[in-house]
Chains A and B, each alone.
Chain A
Amino acid sequence: MASIVSLLFPFTGIFAVINSLKASRLEKLGDLEPGRAAGERAREWCWYSLGYGLLVYFVAFMVMLFTIRDGALSKVYFDNVIFNGEAWNSMLTGFWINIKIFVIAEILVLIWALLVALLRLLPGKACAPIRFVAAAYTDMFRSIPAILVLYLIVYGLQKARLPLMESLDVQDYCIVALVLVYGAYVSEVYRAGIQSIHWSQLAAARSLGLSYGQAMRHVVVPQAVRRIIPPLLNDFIGLQKDTALISAIGILEVLGRARFINNSQATFTGYTMAALLFIAITIPQARAAEWLIKSDHAKTRAS
């Protein structure tokens, strides 16, 4: 039956049908073993039909989506008139601001979140207040929408004009806001990573006379960091995307410029360009993270 259905994708479906017919013929003749083999091949071709067939139908659907109504959707997303060098230049200038902000924010997040996680994991009754403060920070900044934190920090701190902070400009405040929000997420990732290291590692380190801090520094945290690379990358991609939120403060970063192109030239293409830029930086990072994990495994694990 499945082989008939697989004819919906005829290139491989035909092999499924041929083999299943062969199988039933052979089995009727009492030729059981070759019959079973043919049946097996028929099933395999069915799966091929499913796998490749779905892809083909998906691609066909997308092509249809972009071509119906005389290509109305393609015109919206990929307007040739605007897809030109000048627009790209403007977009890249904007995107450079996003890149600067997320690179600085990510470095700060890495340090700040580790500190929060370590404080939250401090042992002993005496440190209960510290643990509480760390937990309260995490809970608070994970629950407030990022855009709201951005408003609160940027407008709030700017208005208050606190000492030492007067010299900060708007972009610096944006970095502070993003670090506070993503520090809360990433501290939880760190915490999960640290807690996933078996207690016997800490016991072994302590049994050699290392202090708690030394044991964390040299034994537990380095192992935890290796484990959390995938979820860490997840949060970093989130942070990178959320740099677009600062357009709401009026900074002409990539989304701000896309909106500008939109309004001034009555086209939608700016948004497509911005999306392409975000995709272009995310994919290499995903591959790089995979490579990092793979090379560490190749080094430290038995083949």
Chain B
Amino acid sequence: MTFLQMEGVEKYFGTNHVLCGIDLDVERHQVICLIGASGCGKSTLLRCINALEPISSGVIRIDGNRVSGTGVDLNDLRADVGIVFQSFNLFPHKTVLQNIMLAPVKVLHQSRSEARDRAMALLERVGLDEKANEYPDRLSGGQQQRVAIVRAMAMDPRVLLLDEITSALDPELVAEVLNIVRALASDGMTIVMATHEMGFAKEVSSKVCFVHEGVIYEEGPPERIFNDPQRERTQSFLKRIVEAGRL
């Protein structure tokens, strides 16, 4: 059964029609990459899935349960759907460890020692256990983003949304973040990511969706989308990417 399903999802910001009928099916353990020009609606699409933006019409289901519209416990939904942002959004007044432990303790009601053990284990996986008591501002961008991923993973989400998580990083820091995503993907994490890293999308994704003017304009397995795009806009977008040396 389809795990995450979006059906005719539309989103308006005032009169600005940002999403114009998104249909998207995500199976468990799939990695979905959303590609497309800036402003095409990729980020909004992600933010709609965990209801950071309420959708205007359509329906979103996770595991068959409707999670959009009225009567949905948003805190429950968000505890289930992790998101990592382009600009990290770590809490600057809390240490790395406190950033990670906050939600497991307050939302999942884990004991502090339980949450700490789990956080330390996750930090070790991303090679940052030594930074547990540092404040975010003392870390590099790549380190901050790895902490942000750990913070999301500490909630044991059923699906992870990644919103251009390497776009704010210096080029030499991109790999350390992508390596973690690669590891999560191979562990079977269900991931929906908006990205400009075409090489990475080509490598890890089960399905690539080209978003254009608020709709999924073309989708398919990465080999087909990148090597043999069928539709005109996809072709011209990828041509520009190749010209820029990004693929």
Contact = CB atoms under 8 A, between A and B. Distances in A.
Interface of A: 200-201, 203-211, 214, 218-219, 222-223, 226, 299-302
Nearest to B86: A200
B34 interface: no
B91 interface: yes
Nearest to A198: B89
B101 to A, nearest CB: 11
A133 B85 CA distance: 37
B40 interface: no
Given A300-B135, A301-B137, A209 B89 contact: no
Contacts of A219: 91, 102
A206 B54 CA distance: 13
Contacts of B91: 201, 204-205, 219, 223
A301 B93 CA distance: 9
A204 B82 CA distance: 10
* 8 residue pairs, one from A and one from B, having the closest CB atoms: A209-B79, A208-B103, A204-B89, A209-B107, A300-B135, A209-B78, A207-B83, A302-B137
Contacts of A206: 52, 74, 78
Contacts of A208: 78-79, 82, 102-103, 107, 151-152, 155
Contact of A226 (B78, B90, B93): B93
A222 B93 contact: yes
B162 to A, nearest CB: 12
B211 to A, nearest CB: 21
Interface in B141-197: 151-152, 155
A210 B102 contact: yes
Interface string B37-80: 00000000000001010000000000000000000001110111
B106 interface: yes
B240 interface: no
B52 A223 contact: no
Interface string B100-118: 0011001110000000000
A210 B151 CA distance: 13
21 contacts: A200-B87, A201-B91, A203-B89, A204-B90, A205-B102, A206-B52, A208-B103, A208-B152, A209-B79, A210-B75, A210-B106, A211-B75, A214-B106, A218-B102, A218-B106, A219-B91, A219-B102, A299-B135, A300-B137, A301-B137, A302-B138
A223 B92 contact: yes
Contacts of A302: 137-138
A275 B107 CA distance: 52
Contacts of B103: 208-210
A226 B92 CA distance: 11
Contact of A201 (B80, B89, B102, B106): B89
Nearest to B88: A204
A222 B103 CA distance: 16
Residue from A207, A214, A301 with most neighbouring chain B CB atoms (10 Å)? A207
Given A208-B102, A210-B107, A222-B93, A301 B135 contact: yes
Contacts of B75: 209-211
Contacts of B107: 208-210, 214
A207 B78 contact: yes
B89 A200 contact: yes
A261 B108 CA distance: 65
Nearest to B136: A300
Nearest to B161: A207
Given A204-B89, A207-B78, A301-B135, 18 more contacts: A203-B89, A205-B102, A206-B52, A207-B50, A208-B102, A208-B151, A209-B78, A209-B107, A210-B75, A210-B102, A210-B107, A219-B91, A219-B102, A222-B93, A223-B93, A226-B93, A301-B138, A302-B138
